Amino acid sequence: MQMRPTCLDCVRKHLAQASILHTEMVTGYPHFKWYVIGQLAEAEAECVTDYPEFANTIREYRKEFEADESCKLPYEQLIIDATELDDAVEEVVEPPTVRITGYMDNVDDYIHELDDADEAEAVKLAAASRAREEAKD
């Protein structure tokens, strides 16, 4: 079974959703406990490939919540932590901007060059055809 690729935006989304569902659970929907657990599990799965320690932190909070639904989970801090991980990745991965220069910079000029080449080839073919006709006469 292949692990899903890391998506820190998805981690934040699942953590935020778990937070909202947790509030709903506390305000009269006790069965929402299972939705909270599911969202936390999804957050884990979204980061376990590249950030197993962070996924394990989320897992530990999920297991704590499963055992005691009255515990307070640090949703905001987990979202901040995911954001810091994401910012660190963007700093490392962000490629420099590369500008390719040359005659291809102006596509119209390139197309005109191709048209000119086609026209030159047509002139050569016409001259060769005339030469063959003259040779027959």
Q: Within a domain: residue 127?
A: yes
Q: Within a domain: residue 77?
A: yes
Q: Are residues 56 and 82 in the same domain?
A: yes
Q: Are residues 22 and 87 in the same domain?
A: yes
Q: Are residues 14 and 70 in the same domain?
A: yes
* CA separation, residue 15 to residues 5, 26, 62, 134 (Å): 17, 17, 11, 85
Q: Are residues 87 and 112 in the same domain?
A: no
Q: Are residues 113 and 59 in the same domain?
A: no
Q: Which structural domain, as residue segments, surrounds residue 131? A: 103-136
For the ranges 5-14, 18-27, 45-54, 119-128, the lowest mean pLDDT is seen at 119-128
Full-model pTM: 0.64
pLDDT greater than 80 at residue 37:
yes
Q: Are residues 76 and 129 in the same domain?
A: no
Q: Are residues 23 and 82 in the same domain?
A: yes
DSSP conformation letters of 26-69:
HTT-GGGHHHHHHHHHHHHHHHTTT-HHHHHHHHHHHHHHHH-T
Half-sphere exposure at residue 78, Cβ-oriented, CA atoms within 13 angstroms: 30
110-121, pLDDT tens digit by residue?
A: 556 666 766 777
Q: Within a domain: residue 57?
A: yes
Q: What is the pLDDT of residue 4?
A: 72
Taking residue 24's Cβ as centre, other Cβ atoms within 10 Å add up to 15
